[in-house]
Amino acid sequence: MNQLFRCLAVVTVASVAIAVPAQAQTASDFAIKSGDRVVFYGDSITDQRMYSLMTEQYIVTRFPGIDVRFIHSGWGGDRVTGGGGGPIDLRLDRDVTSYKPSVVTVMLGMNDASYRPFDANIFKTYADGYKHIVSKLKTDNPGVRLTLIKPSPFDDITRPVSFPGGYNAVLLRYSDFVGELATAEGASTADLNGPVVDMLRRAQATDPTNAAKIIPDRVHPDWGGHLIMAECLLKSWGAPALVSDVAIDASTGKATTRNAKVGGFTKAAGGAIRWNATENALPFPLMSVAGNGNDAPYNLAVASSDFVDALDQEMLKVANLTNGRYRLTIDGKTAGEFTSAQLAQGINLAVLPTPMLEQARLVGRLTQIRGEVHNSRWREFQVPLGGDPQAGQFIPALIKNLDAADGPLTKAQRDAAKPRAHAFELKPL
């Protein structure tokens, strides 16, 4: 097993035997609906296209049958007044409203508070500017559903504060305002600060060296930090924990399932049992960025959070096995070895190296590619060259071609997420 699975084993294998699958939830319980167009708007933290990308990955893998489109519109350095991409009204017109969104998330505040102790005048600019953003979005996009995101944290956990009270305490005051504004405007809100701070505290207590790498510059999280931010946003939308839940009686072959179909149960020589299963969703593509040298901080963030329990439950129970130890293979590949007692209580396939996880990782990679194409279209051509007197004449055609590429890329992403049948075997050791 790779480093993630070993790390997760420390916090999940012992609890796998007592894990209880979440109650069944359906797409009707989730705030994002088929036909939605979701725009993620914000500053450099949104511009990283990490929490937003993983939010998209979750939705595509968990609900492969719904059609939702995603636009990532963060710009580094932005404040409520705008920034390098232009003044706020231009940014909202060009980078949000032009896509006819039905859902918009807004996360601003890290730059607005100016990295200094709380200042009432600076805060007033933020409050007034944020109110303008909400008003304009609602006016220009009738019926739009807004999610106002409380600013993600400045890391005052793994390093000493830079002034009394620390900068994150200032951001928390801004977060309180965001929550109040959301209530007043009938918007939903997502807290990307408190839960990430809680995760950092647990990580710091376990591994201070790697805890400091989760938000390496104290402002911009790496993949592990963004994973927990995506979790916070998804929870605010009512995202279900359930991937699938399969329970099999080894003596009779009878199966009970949620979000999956099981058939073809057989008993083989030597005490092995076999069956086929098709799950209607995929696990979250954990470690889809494996190999970039940042695995340890990522794994620490996962292990220091409730991500797996809250959003990634792909449960398998097998009762009435002969006492002993068993090897689980899926499509002929080993997923792990477990005791009959562990299998009777339930194991979470989502944290194991399975074909379903590999399929989810493919979806994740296609999601990244689709996002990169759109970002190039926007940031390399539309904005910097649209007004260029020499290049400008070629830009509309180029943008049209890049927009046309989004269709096949989206289709490839969705095709990769479609449910597939898998062959399972439990063989006694």
**What does the pLDDT look like over 315-349, one tens digit per residue?**
999 999 999 999 999 999 999 999 999 999 999 99
Q: Which residue has the tokens 């399972």?
A: 424
Whether 284 and 381 share a structural domain: yes
Residue that terminates a domain, selected from 236, 263, 279 = 236
- Convert the pLDDT of each residue in 52-71 to its tens digit: 999 999 999 999 999 999 99
Whether 219 and 263 share a structural domain: no
Q: Which residue has the tokens 């009738």?
A: 142
- Interatomic CA distance for residues 335 and 324, integer angstroms: 17
pLDDT category at 2 given cuts 50, 70, 90 is very low
Whether 315 and 426 share a structural domain: yes
Which pLDDT value is given to residue 42? 98
Residue-by-residue DSSP string for 182-241: HHHHT-EEEESSHHHHHHHHHHHHH-HHHHTTTSTTSSS--HHHHHHHHHHHHHHTT--S
Whether 121 and 232 share a structural domain: yes
Q: Which residue has the tokens 């710091």?
A: 204
- Interatomic CA distance for residues 355 and 361, integer angstroms: 10
Whether 310 and 371 share a structural domain: yes
- Convert the pLDDT of each residue in 125-149 to its tens digit: 999 999 999 999 999 999 999 999 9
Q: Is 282 helix (H, G, I), strand (E, B) or coil?
A: coil
Whether 231 and 279 share a structural domain: no
- Length of the chain counted residue by residue: 429
Whether 299 and 380 share a structural domain: yes
Say which CATH number the domain at 80 has: 3.40.50.1110
- Interatomic CA distance for residues 385 and 402, integer angstroms: 15
425: its two tokens: 């075997």
The yes-or-no verdict on residue 154 having pLDDT over 60 is yes
Whether 266 and 174 share a structural domain: no
User: Which element (helix H / strand E) includes 342?
Assistant: helix 340-345
For residue 140, with 0-12 CB atoms within 10 Å meaning exposed, 13-18 middle and 19 or more buried, which class applies?
A: middle
Cβ neighbors of 428 (< 8 A, separation 6 or more) are: 270, 271, 272, 322, 324, 325, 326
Whether 419 and 302 share a structural domain: yes
Whether 227 and 272 share a structural domain: no
Whether 39 and 15 share a structural domain: no
Which pLDDT value is given to residue 390? 79
- Interatomic CA distance for residues 302 and 227, integer angstroms: 8
Whether 61 and 171 share a structural domain: yes
Residue that terminates a domain, selected from 236, 255, 283 = 236
- Interatomic CA distance for residues 72 and 75, integer angstroms: 9
pLDDT category at 370 given cuts 50, 70, 90 is very high
E-strand ranges in 8-111 read 37-42, 69-74, 82-83, 86-87, 103-107
Residue-by-residue DSSP string for 351-367: GS--HHHHHHHHHHHHH
Nearest CA-CA partner of 315 in 348, 357, 355, 360: 348
Q: Which residue has the higher pLDDT, 399 or 167?
A: 167
348: its two tokens: 């979470």
114 φψ region: left (φ > 0), alpha (ψ -120 to 50), beta (else): left
- Interatomic CA distance for residues 239 and 311, integer angstroms: 7
Our count of domains for the chain comes to: 2
Residue that terminates a domain, selected from 168, 202, 236 = 236
The 3-state DSSP composition of the chain as helix, strand, coil percent (nearest 5) reads 45, 20, 35
Predicted TM-score (pTM) of this structure: 0.92
> Please, are residues 315 and 348 in contact by the beta-carbon 8 Å criterion?
yes
Q: What is the mean pLDDT of residues 9-22?
A: 35
Domain residue limits at 326: 1-21+241-429
Q: Is 247 helix (H, G, I), strand (E, B) or coil?
A: strand
